[in-house]
Amino acid sequence: MLPEPNELLATARVVALPLVTRFRGIDVREAVLFEGPEGWTEFSPFAEYDDDEASAWLEAAIDYGWTTPPPALRDRIPVNATVPAVDPDSVAAVLARFPGCRTAKVKVASPDQTLAQDVARVRAVREALGPEGRIRVDANAGWNVDEAEHAIHALAPFDLEYVEQPCASIAELVEIRRRTKYMGVPIAADESVRRADDPLAVAEAGAADLLVIKAQPLGGIHRALELIGRTGLPVVVSSALDTSVGIAMGAQLAASVTSLEFDCGLGTASLLAADVTRSPLLPEQGSIPVGRVLPDPALLDRYAASPERTEWWFERLVRCHAVLAGRVTP
C-alpha cells in the first residue's frame, strides 16, 4: 500500500547541509527526511531531475520507511574515499577525511578542467595511497568515445581498478569497452543504469564489466536487489551524496547483496560539512556500520531549509507521489 501524502508530510523535515568541497556543481545538499513504521528515511533527488525520474527516489524512501528490509549478510561495509575535482595539492587533505580507506574514486572529465589536470589529480592520489591502493575514476559521462579512449590511455599507467561511466550512451559504452579492452581497464556503468528506461539494457548489450548501484534512483532496496540478481554482473553499491539517513539505506542494500567484491561508494558523509545525526556514517578503518540512523532534532532545526525551499520540496514530494499513485494497479 502506498502511504498518503499527508502521512509522509506529517513528520517531513527539509534540510540544507553545506559541503566541505563543491561537488556535482553544488555547495549545499538538500534532502527531505520523514519517518515511517520502520524508521527514518530520505527523499533527495537532485534538483534538475523531473518528477518522473524523481518519483523512483520517493518509491525508495517509502520502501525503506515502510517495508521490512531483507536479511543483512554483513554488519559493516568497506567503502572508498571520494576525491572531487580538486587540485593535486588538496588530495592529501581530502583522503584524510576517509581514514582506513584503501580505495579512492577520483572525479575526472569536469567540463571546466583539462585532461592534464585529471592526470595530475590521479597521480597525486596514487602517490598518497601507494602501490597497494586502488584507484577508480568517474567521468560522469563527460567524454565522447574518442576523448574517453585518449583519457583512459593517459590514466591507465596509474593502475585503475575501473573507469565509471566514461560516455553517456550504451552504444558508446560498448564501443569504448571494445577499444580499450587491450588495456585491461574494466568499464563500470552508473548513469546508464539508474537513469535508463530499462536498467537491464546495459548488461544485455555487454556495455559494462560491472554496475554501480544506488538504492534511491532505482526505487529502493528490494528493486535494486532484483535488478542485481537479473544482471549477473558484479556491483558497487554507492550513494547519491545522501545524508547519513540515505547512506544507511545504501548500507542496508550492500549488506543484502550476496557477493560484494568491491569497496562501496558509501563513505560520502565525509563530503558533508554537517549531517542530521550526532553519529554520522563516517568511515572508520575503511568501513561503515549497517543499521538505522536516527536524526537529531537539534540538527534538523539547525540545518532546516528556508521556508521557500521547504515548500518547494513538499510540493515536489506531492507531485512525485501522484506519479507513483498513477502506477499502482487498483
Average pLDDT, stretch 158-173?
97
Instruction: Kindly state whether residues 111 and 17 are assigned to the same domain.
Output: no
Instruction: Kindly state whether residues 183 and 56 are assigned to the same domain.
Output: no
Instruction: Kindly state whether residues 142 and 271 are assigned to the same domain.
Output: yes
Q: What does the block give as the cell for 183? A: 588495456
> Which band of pLDDT confidence, cut at 50, 70 and 90, is reported for residue 329?
low
Ligand-binding annotation for 118, yes or no, is: no
Candidates 29, 214, 316, 321; catalytic one: 214
Edge-first strand order for the sheet with 26-36 is 13-23, 26-36, 39-43
Provide the residue type at 191 as one letter.
E
How much is the mean pLDDT over the chain? 96
Ligand-binding annotation for 138, yes or no, is: yes
For CA atoms 262, 266, 272, 277, the dihedral sign is negative
Instruction: Kindly state whether residues 181 and 307 are assigned to the same domain.
Output: no
Instruction: Pick the closest to residue 249 from 258, 259, 260, 238 (CA basis).
Output: 238
Instruction: Kindly state whether residues 21 and 44 are assigned to the same domain.
Output: yes
Instruction: Kindly state whether residues 137 and 189 are assigned to the same domain.
Output: yes
DSSP-H helix ranges across the chain = 5-9, 51-66, 91-95, 115-129, 145-155, 170-180, 191-194, 201-205, 221-231, 244-256, 297-302, 307-327
Instruction: Kindly state whether residues 206 and 278 are assigned to the same domain.
Output: yes
CATH number for the domain that contains residue 174: 3.20.20.120
214 is an active site residue: yes
Instruction: Kindly state whether residues 82 and 120 are assigned to the same domain.
Output: yes
Instruction: Kindly state whether residues 84 and 13 are assigned to the same domain.
Output: no
Q: pLDDT for 230-255, tens place per residue? A: 999 999 999 989 999 999 999 999 99
C-beta separation of 310 from 304 below 8 A: yes
Place of cell 556491483: 235
Q: pLDDT for 63-118, tens place per residue? A: 999 999 999 999 999 999 999 999 999 999 999 999 999 999 999 999 999 999 99
CATH number for the domain that contains residue 304: 3.30.390.10
Instruction: Kindly state whether residues 40 and 95 are assigned to the same domain.
Output: no
The answer, yes or no, to whether residue 196 has pLDDT greater than 80, is: no
Place of cell 562501496: 264
Containing domain of residue 193, as a range?
Answer: 76-289
pLDDT at position 253 is 98
107 is an active site residue: yes
pLDDT at position 194 is 78
pLDDT at position 195 is 76
pLDDT at position 23 is 81
> Which band of pLDDT confidence, cut at 50, 70 and 90, is reported for residue 328?
low
Instruction: Kindly state whether residues 39 and 13 are assigned to the same domain.
Output: yes
Ligand-binding annotation for 190, yes or no, is: yes
The answer, yes or no, to whether residue 19 has pLDDT greater than 60, is: yes
| 182: DSSP letter | G
Domain count, the chain: 2
Average pLDDT, stretch 44-54?
96
Candidates 97, 107, 126, 222; catalytic one: 107
